[in-house]
Amino acid sequence: MLVNMKGMLDAANRDHYAIMAVNSVNMEMARAVIEAASEMRSPIILQMGRSQMAKLAHHEDILPMIRNMAERVDVPVCLNLDHGPDFQTEINAIHWGFTNLMIDASSLPFEENVRRTRIIVDMAHAKGISVEAELGHVGQAADGDGRTDDMFTNVAQAVEFVERTGVDALAVAIGTAHGKYPAGYVPKLDFDRLAELKAALRMPLVLHGGSGSGEENIRRAVAGGINKINVCTDAFHAAEVAMKAKWAEDPQTDYLNIMVTAEAAIKAFVKDYIALIGSANRYTFDFADNGSKE
Ligand SMILES: [Zn+2]
């Protein structure tokens, strides 16, 4: 069933586990992710960003399809706009049927981030749509971001930010970065800061740039209070590895078979990840006043 993100993340916050948010950019990925969640009896979040929609995941094609797939399973499925950069994209996302919006004004000054986030929260909540925002800034692995605490989330600011904006979930910067880390590099996460943020906020926290962090970091992040983990690069990589292996094994493999291979690899990856972050068999929660869109 299609739901917003609040109910599923509040349950994860209460019971100390995390839910995957997978950037799902075509039919095969979306189906793999939803089937994996359904078989694991886990809530799941499918998401995409503006440039992914421009390149491949055209909203008019993929959003009705994902909504349809979501309605055919009985585990909760959320459809999230990843990194909404401006008001127009957020308003479009409301019209297109996203059930959660991320507003990312994290590279702007604090007051401007508060102002923009508050406006999106007011608009979205009026429509039963939940909102994630970001404070501190999770940058790009390719730029070496996340290696120093310059852009890490400040605890006192985070408390003020949540009070003034009313966001449902907060993405925090604790040492990860988006995209691929250089070979051999494993990010060092600031778990002390995460513990302070969780104690001060007691609300769902989100980890961006989780790909390539390694299982140990992910496990500790979940134990430390992360409730949503964004996964893009690692999911793409699972498909790429399987496709290359298939081609190596049989260079004549055709398009249909290569896509079948990719879909199966993503599904297996998502099932393993769900087991890692503890959301298996967590598919029921109280929908009475939160999650259900219907
Ligand atoms: Zn992100």
- DSSP code for 82: E
Gap from CA of 14 to ligand 1 centroid (Å): 23
Position 276 confidence tier, pLDDT thresholds 50, 70, 90: very high
Q: Domain of 100: which CATH number?
A: 3.20.20.70
Q: Decide if 36 is inside a domain.
A: yes
| 263 C-alpha to ligand 1 centroid (Å) | 23
* DSSP, res 140: B
Q: What is the pLDDT of residues 15-64, one digit of tens each?
A: 999 999 999 999 999 999 999 999 999 999 999 999 999 999 999 999 99
- Cβ-Cβ contacts under 8 Å for 176 (sequence gap 6 or more): 138, 146, 187, 189, 207, 208, 209, 210, 213
Residue 215 included in any domain: yes
* CA 29 to ligand 1 center in whole angstroms: 18
Tokens of 149: 């605490």
Q: Is 82 a catalytic residue?
A: yes
In whole angstroms, give the CA distance from residue 141 to residue 32.
Answer: 27
CA dist., res. 22 & res. 270, Å (int): 9
Task: Note whether residue 89 is domain-resident.
Answer: yes
**Domain span at residue 151?**
2-277
Q: What is the mean pLDDT of residues 166-184?
A: 96
- Tell me if 70 is assigned to some domain: yes
Coil, strand or helix at 49 = strand
**3-state DSSP call for residue 168?**
coil
Residues 25 and 122: their CA atoms lie apart, in Å, by: 28
CA of 23 to the centre of ligand 1 (A): 10
Q: Over range 166-178, report the average pLDDT.
A: 97
CA distance 10 to 17: 10
Tell me how far apart the alpha carbons of residues 5 and 130 are, in angstroms, rounded to a whole number: 6
How many other CB atoms are there within 10 angstroms of residue 44's CB atom? 27
* Catalytic position from the list 10, 82, 145, 168: 82
Total structural domains within the chain? 1
Q: Is the pTM of this model over 0.85?
A: yes
Mean per-residue pLDDT for 161-178?
97
pLDDT at residue 151, as a whole number: 93
**Domain annotation covers residue 288:** no
Q: Residue 290: pLDDT above 60? A: no
Residue 294 lies in a domain: no
Q: Is 290 domain-assigned?
A: no
Long-range contacts of 138-143 (CB under 8 A, 24+ apart): 138/106, 138/171, 138/173, 138/176, 138/177, 138/178, 138/208, 138/209, 139/177, 139/178, 140/177, 140/178, 140/179, 141/177, 141/178, 141/179, 141/180, 141/181, 141/182, 141/209, 141/212, 142/179, 142/180, 143/177
Whether 287 shows a pLDDT value over 60: the answer reads no
Q: Using the mean position of ligand 1's atoms as its centre, give its distance from the Cα of residue 251 in Å.
A: 35
pLDDT at 291: 47
Mean pLDDT of the chain: 95
Residue 153 DSSP symbol: P
Cα(138) to centroid(ligand 1), Å: 7
What's the CA dihedral at 235, 238, 242, 247 to 10 degrees? 70
Residue-level pLDDT at 149: 86
Does residue 46 lie within any of the structural domains? yes
- Name residues whose C-beta falls within 8 Å of residue 58's C-beta, 6 or more positions apart in sequence: none
Name the band, by pLDDT with cuts 50, 70 and 90, for residue 115.
Answer: very high
Q: Where are the beta strands (DSSP E) in 89-195?
A: 100-103, 130-135, 169-172
